């Protein structure tokens, strides 16, 4: 997520937003393991929780839908590993583990703890974690911990920190420049990516990629918008910027840089599609083909 000069934004300083979000995409609430209220399956799960597990916290068991939130060590580690690798390869200053471990201690808290453990185990000597900082603070005091972090930054080490999700949503408004690479679980990632997109022009400007250890699929982050299909009104920037990510992933840096420069120049010059023109109010709206032609002229 980054800002293009000339894009309308409600932020005073949208240019401070420049983040890469690594969102776990196969687990969490989005795994879809849930049953409707009153169904035999929901009743069976609730009865099991009450009778076998001693759970007494379901306030209205007879009318409750029920869902399961799986978060695994493997899923968490592969996401955090990829985020750290990306940050090191691209010279980023930090990776932020965003979570709600203060409430969901074993799922979201596990994600945080497994992420720290992986960073310290697999990237020792290249990173400094806030978990290490906390240990120094307990043993030697806060001043010593602060000095240790300052030395790590001076030595060019990647800082691994964690942030509670609701606080993070405040921080991306108040101090977005403090965050560069973010690793988070599925639901948090959905909220965060859309909130950041709103700061830099909306989902029409937000690229996306689905990555595994061996495969990659790049796609626009927005939906199909069937209501405007065939009308030549769609903003193709999300798809084009996703293609830029694909080119970078393939190592075709020059092509990616040229396309990115063309998008920058077109938007800065006031050549934008209807979604951005409506928010700006001072430029005419271009159709999809016209905007694409404006990019082609700049390549």
5 burial (CB, 10 Å; 0-12 / 13-18 / 19+) is: exposed
| pLDDT tens per residue across span 51-79 | 999 999 999 999 999 999 999 999 999 99
Note the pLDDT of residue 204.
Answer: 84
For residues 193 and 246, membership in a common domain is answered with no
Note the pLDDT of residue 124.
Answer: 96
In a domain, 217, yes or no: yes
Q: What are the φ/ψ torsions at residue 94 (nearest 5 degrees)?
A: -155, 160
Domain span at 251? 208-299
For residues 214 and 194, membership in a common domain is answered with no
12-21, 31-40, 204-213, 264-273: least confident range = 204-213
- Report, as residue numbers or ranges, the catalytic residues: 30, 100, 166, 190
For residues 86 and 177, membership in a common domain is answered with yes
In a domain, 286, yes or no: yes
Total domains present in the chain: 2
For residues 278 and 166, membership in a common domain is answered with no
CATH number (domain holding residue 141): 3.40.718.10
Domain C-terminal end among 133, 168, 199: 199
pTM: 0.91
In a domain, 38, yes or no: no
| pLDDT tens per residue across span 244-291 | 999 999 999 999 999 999 999 999 999 999 999 998 889 999 999 999
3-class SS at 30?
helix
| pLDDT tens per residue across span 170-220 | 999 999 999 999 999 999 999 999 999 999 988 888 899 999 888 999 999
Domain C-terminal end among 169, 199, 229: 199
């Amino acid at each position: 997520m980054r800002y293009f000069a000339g894009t309308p934004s409600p932020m005073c300083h949208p240019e401070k937003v420049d983040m890469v979000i690594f969102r776990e995409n196969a687990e969490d609430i989005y795994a879809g393991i849930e049953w409707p209220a009153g169904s035999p399956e929901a009743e069976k799960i609730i009865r099991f929780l009450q009778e076998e597990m001693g759970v007494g916290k379901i306030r209205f068991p007879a009318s409750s839908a029920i869902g399961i939130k799986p978060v695994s060590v493997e899923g968490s580690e592969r996401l955090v590993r990829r985020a750290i690798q990306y940050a090191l390869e691209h010279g980023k200053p930090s990776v932020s583990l965003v979570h709600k471990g203060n409430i969901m201690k074993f799922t979201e808290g596990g994600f945080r703890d497994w992420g720290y453990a992986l960073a310290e185990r697999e990237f020792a000597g290249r990173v400094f974690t806030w978990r290490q900082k906390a240990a120094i603070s307990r043993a030697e005091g806060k001043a010593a911990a602060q000095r240790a972090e300052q030395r790590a930054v001076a030595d060019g080490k990647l800082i691994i920190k964690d942030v509670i999700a609701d606080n993070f949503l405040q921080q991306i408004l108040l101090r977005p420049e403090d965050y560069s690479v973010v690793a988070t679980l599925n639901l948090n990632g959905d909220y965060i990516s859309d909130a950041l997109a709103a700061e830099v022009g909306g989902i029409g400007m937000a690229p996306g990629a689905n990555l595994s250890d061996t495969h990659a699929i790049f796609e626009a982050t927005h939906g199909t918008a069937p209501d405007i299909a065939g009308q030549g009104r769609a903003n193709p920037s999300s798809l084009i910027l996703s293609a830029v990510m694909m080119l970078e992933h393939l190592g075709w840096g020059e092509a990616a840089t040229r396309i990115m420069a063309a998008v920058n120049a077109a938007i800065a010059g006031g050549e934008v599609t209807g979604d951005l023109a409506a928010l700006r109010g001072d430029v005419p709206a271009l159709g999809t083909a016209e905007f694409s032609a404006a990019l082609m002229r700049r390549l």
